Amino acid sequence: MKLFKIEAGSFHVDGGAVFGVVPKRVWQKRYECDEENFCQLNMRCLLIDTGNRLILIDTGSGDKQLDYLKYYDFKKIINFETELNKLGYHCSDITDVVLTHLHFDHCGGCTKYNFDNSKTELTFQNATHWVGETQWKNFLSPNVREGDSYFPENMIPVQQAGKLQLVTENQWICPEVEIRIFNGHTVGQLVSYIHSDTKTYVYVGDVIPIAATVPVSWISAYDTYPITAMDEKKILLDEAVEKQQILFFEHDAYTECCTVKEAYGKYRVNESFSL
């Protein structure tokens, strides 16, 4: 099995939104911000080559809504065909796309405009796109909190093409990759567990968006259900500590992976490293 990170671009959000009720004088010691209090967040995707399947986890924002979302100051948005070519693959080779959830910064790259921008088409035309069923329902009929994060053109073409697979329970999509449902940030978020003979990588998505938010009570203001988010994070962290799993961060601009440790009910980063 081979793993490749794909940096799909970055954007900038207010530090208060990233860290919620944690005071700036505390969080700024752990994560950088600029003079306007904005933090850089990456959109780090993961490509998994099992030998039989080529699986991509999340697809970044894509470029369809950049003008509308310009206040996020997107940078270095990639072309997936170009990036996959560098690794020896093509978009048509992707067999599965696992989407943590359907906020624009996680699924926007699933579709793209055609040559004359007249309609959208699938970026990964041969891939099954895995989405939590409750997340899909939320996408179709969003609550007032999340409505501005969902764009029909990112996912409706996937459904119309018959490439949408809804997930109702934890399951394995192949012998190496397990997907589990975690709620809190939003409903029906999928967390991928990638198992090799010696290691397990956990693509934590927005359960733990950056390494600085490993502590259970450090949750984002973007989390729709805060108490649930903390409860679900603790479940993930308990197993990660017990089994020394490796957390793979989607949004952290400075830390790609880490292991975690626990003492007296407190969780902290143990060792940080790159994939």
Tens-digit pLDDT string for the chain (275 aa): 999 999 999 999 999 999 999 999 999 999 999 999 999 999 999 999 999 999 999 999 999 999 999 999 999 999 999 999 999 999 999 999 999 999 999 999 999 988 677 789 999 999 999 999 999 999 999 999 999 999 999 999 999 999 999 999 999 999 999 999 999 999 999 999 999 989 999 999 999 999 999 999 999 999 999 999 999 999 999 999 999 999 999 999 999 999 999 999 999 999 999 98
pLDDT score, position 119: 87
Do residues 210 and 18 touch, judged by C-beta distance below 8 A? yes
Give the burial class of 139: count Cβ atoms within 10 A of its Cβ; 0-12 exposed, 13-18 middle, 19 or more buried: buried
* Identity of residue 168: T
Dig out the tokens for 259 from the structure.
């292991």
Mean pLDDT of the chain: 96
pLDDT score, position 202: 98
pLDDT score, position 25: 95
pLDDT score, position 114: 81
* Identity of residue 84: L
CATH number at 170 reads 3.60.15.10
pLDDT score, position 135: 98
Dig out the tokens for 57 from the structure.
């986890």
Span 237-263, pLDDT tens digits? 999 999 999 999 999 999 999 999 999
* Identity of residue 10: S
Give the burial class of 133: count Cβ atoms within 10 A of its Cβ; 0-12 exposed, 13-18 middle, 19 or more buried: middle
**Domain span at 114:** 2-273
| Number of structural domains the chain divides into | 1
Percent of the chain scored above 70 by pLDDT?
100
pLDDT score, position 127: 98
Pairing of strands 200-203, 246-248: parallel
Name the maximum alpha-carbon separation found in the chain. 59
Residue owning tokens 């997936």: 80
Q: 3-state SS string over the chain?
A: CEEEEEEEEEEEEEHHHHHCCCCHHHHCCCCCCCCCCEEEEEEEEEEEECCCCEEEECCCCCCCCCCCCHHHCCECCCCHHHHHHHCCCCHHHCCEEECCCCCHHHHHHHEEECCCCCCEEECCCCCEEEEEHHHHHHHHCCCCCCHHHCCHHHHHHHHHCCCEEEECCCEEEECCEEEEEECCCCCCEEEEEEECCCCEEEECHHHCCCHHHCCCCCCCCCCCCHHHHHHHHHHHHHHHHHHCCEEECCCECCCCEEEEEEECCEEEEEEEECC
